[in-house]
Chain A
């Protein structure tokens, strides 16, 4: 991916390796390569859906991006500026521009704090505006996400799951960020409530022009909300491109498998799901070459020896496969 300064956010070759330690001395005997060279761009106002199954490294990518996990390697550019080299003040400004919404609205809000305190904290920490105006901003945001002003004095346990996720979104928006990393924001919610939250995110996105990195295992949700999609498998992006391209004509055998596994919503057009079992490798037991080759119907000897690079194709997608 060429860096041309037009992207709001550009991530290059991001790696997060967790050491495996053993023995009395806790010597490092290996590493789990949870994220192993991930790169993508995000334009202003754009939503990139990062999809994959458990353990593919999609959440770790999001956490590393917002600084909640130290990346092992990689560069992040914000409007062309390398965040790591721009100095402390610039790094802090970057943090402000990038916020996160977590999956579990139950464990990501401090149960002992009132909503007012939770939502004020980002303003206090970053010293935004004068202190007397902060409560007003909190109230305005509470109403913006569809709650009532008087609920500012309530505690998290007094809210339902969907309402708590509204609070999580409000917290992420307090600092008027450019990018929100949404880590499975609707996975814990029932479908009727999930629709409320997805609609709220879509409204906020068009109203505020905020970009979303939308991390999810749910292909239906990503197909609904994303402009572009990146499919991850064991720490790497294997296929990426515009939403319609990926969902209408997947090319990577893993993307195909994923899309063919999604239940159909038409009882007259059911899938022929196979009962057969193919063992799924994990990040600790990653196959050589292409990590997907053990499950791939197209695998050849080349796939075992050489890892296919993520290379751009004519139709606007990039693909990491020797045989497609």
Chain B
């Protein structure tokens, strides 16, 4: 593996304003290299979006990084001041949000929003910044970019808005892009275009991509490596091929069996629901829903161990470890 563009070690994110405070992301470690795509997959409330916001230094009020390190290139992001973080954000690390309409400023044309970012981070001014913005839009294959640059977000379709958001994220050629469910709000034919676009842009610029999704299909289409999250923790980590060939963790197994498909009379159900993060069970958080549960699981939390080369899981009873 080439040198990591982004390395996260032992990250804990905590809702400090809650009484008592509780942890929403625990012991999170990951690394992504230039040109590589790391997918973080999990269901609602597993902590995947909080992880993304922590990487971006965009955690909401009352939520903080309690422990751990986030290193971009050779800079420790958690140690930066708010002002220094602003210089990094958009410039060296950028984010693509799920809902493009809320990520864009409704009272600015998309051209001026992109030009503003370019002016701030690349030091171009006025007309130069504007033409760079039009060029950024053209690179996302926005139809008629000169005209679209002068339009407001509400004048664009969902797919065009997401192209604008991608242009905004890429205009300063960041080393790392964090994309949180970038295609979830889109129709499937538009999703295909946007996934194609993200792949093309990544190949062109060698960007490292952290892609957060609940959709295993998007994972299979885009990922090099995958982190599966459950109740705030990484429960499995592997290359995308290894993960789909032979998942180790019963939760990953369950997720894959639950995917609707032709010919399956009954889908695998994962009984029950995700436990609330403020009252996680002792031991393994998945134990109450796990078909392979034993007494040990209820008492002792399993550590993340390497059961096969480069394939880790946090489980006392993994599937076919050999």
Contact = CB atoms under 8 A, between A and B. Distances in A.
B153 to A, nearest CB: 16
B43 A258 contact: no
B82 interface: no
A276 B140 CA distance: 8
Nearest to B254: A192
A280 interface: yes
B241 A267 contact: yes
A191 B259 contact: yes
A202 B259 contact: no
B157 A279 contact: yes
A190 interface: yes
Interface string B239-262: 011001000000000110111111
Given A223-B260, A264-B221, A275-B200, A202 B270 contact: no
Nearest to A223: B262
B217 interface: yes
A162 B273 CA distance: 9
Interface stretch (B27-35, B71-79, B169-177, B191-199): B191-199
Contact of B267 (A195, A261, A263, A267): A195
B190 A275 contact: no
B45 to A, nearest CB: 9
B260 A199 contact: no
Contacts of B227: none
Contacts of A53: 187-189
Given A192-B270, A202-B266, A277-B193, A220 B260 contact: yes
Nearest to A200: B269
Contacts of A263: 191-192, 195, 215, 217-218, 220-221
Contacts of B13: none
Contacts of B240: 267
A146 B255 CA distance: 21
Contact of B142 (A54, A198, A273, A277): A277
A275 B197 contact: yes
Given A199-B267, A258-B188, A271 B221 contact: yes
**Which of B43, B215, B221 has the most chain A CB atoms closer than 10 A to its own CB?**
B221
B157 A280 contact: yes
Interface size class of A (residues with CB under 8 A): 35 or more
B262 A219 contact: no
Interface string B73-111: 000000000000000000000000000000000000000
Given A273-B221, A276-B141, A261 B260 contact: no
A155 to B, nearest CB: 18
A264 B259 CA distance: 12
Contacts of B47: none
A17 to B, nearest CB: 23
A144 B260 CA distance: 23
Nearest to B157: A280
B1 interface: no
A194 B192 CA distance: 23
B112 to A, nearest CB: 22
A2 B196 CA distance: 44
B188 A267 contact: no
- Interface range on chain B (Cβ under 8 Å from partner): 35 or more
B313 interface: no
B160 interface: yes
Nearest to A193: B273
B261 A261 contact: no
B322 interface: no
Contacts of A162: 273
A225 interface: yes
B216 to A, nearest CB: 7
B38 interface: no
Interface in A267-289: 267-268, 270-277, 279-280
Contact of B269 (A195, A244, A273): A195
Which residue of A199, A267, A271, A279 has the most chain B CB atoms within 10 A of its CB atom?
A267
Nearest to A196: B269
Interface in B199-218: 199-201, 214-218
Contacts of B188: 53, 217, 219, 258, 261-262
B182 interface: no
Contacts of B189: 53, 257-258, 261, 280
Contacts of A272: 196
A273 B260 contact: no
Nearest to B198: A275
A300 interface: no
A258 B274 CA distance: 32
A277 B159 contact: yes
B134 interface: no
A243 interface: yes
A112 interface: no
Given A194-B260, A264-B217, 16 more contacts: A53-B189, A192-B255, A198-B260, A199-B267, A202-B265, A218-B260, A220-B261, A224-B264, A243-B262, A265-B217, A273-B192, A275-B141, A277-B142, A279-B143, A280-B159, A280-B189
Interface of A: 53-54, 160, 162, 190-196, 198-199, 202, 217-221, 223-225, 243-244, 247, 257-258, 260-268, 270-277, 279-280
Closest 8 interchain pairs by CB? A263-B217, A273-B196, A224-B260, A195-B258, A192-B270, A261-B192, A275-B197, A195-B267
30 contacts: A53-B188, A53-B189, A162-B273, A191-B255, A192-B254, A192-B258, A193-B270, A195-B258, A198-B267, A199-B266, A220-B259, A221-B260, A223-B261, A224-B260, A224-B267, A257-B189, A263-B191, A263-B192, A263-B195, A263-B221, A267-B219, A267-B241, A271-B221, A274-B193, A275-B197, A276-B196, A277-B142, A277-B143, A277-B159, A279-B157
